[in-house]
């Protein structure tokens, strides 16, 4: 995923289908400098993680 799109999704407040390693996730924050996103699994909101934005997929 591109950095700009990841930021748009994170800031929109809307539920947009995004996956990481085949699992549905929600983007909480995007760190442009580090090119990382703070995400959590949709079905496990207590499990936050940081992943490279390039590994996120929309749709």
What is the rounded average pLDDT for all residues in the chain? 96
Asked whether the CA dihedral 35, 17, 41, 57 is positive or negative, the reply is: negative
pLDDT recorded at residue 37: 98
pTM over 0.85: yes
Domain locations in the chain as residue ranges: 3-58
Q: List pLDDT tens digits, range 7-35.
A: 999 999 898 999 999 999 999 999 999 99
| Beta strand spans in 1-59 (E) | 18-20, 23-31, 36-41, 44-52, 56-58
Report, as an integer, the average pLDDT of 35-58. Answer: 96
Q: What share of the chain in percent tops pLDDT 70? A: 100
pLDDT recorded at residue 13: 84
């Amino acid at each position: 995923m591109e950095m700009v799109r990841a930021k748009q999704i994170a800031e929109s407040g809307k539920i947009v289908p995004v996956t990481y390693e085949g699992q549905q996730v929600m983007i909480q924050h995007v760190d442009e400098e580090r090119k990382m996103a703070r995400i959590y699994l949709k079905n496990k909101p207590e499990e936050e993680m940081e992943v490279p934005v390039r590994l996120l997929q929309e749709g």
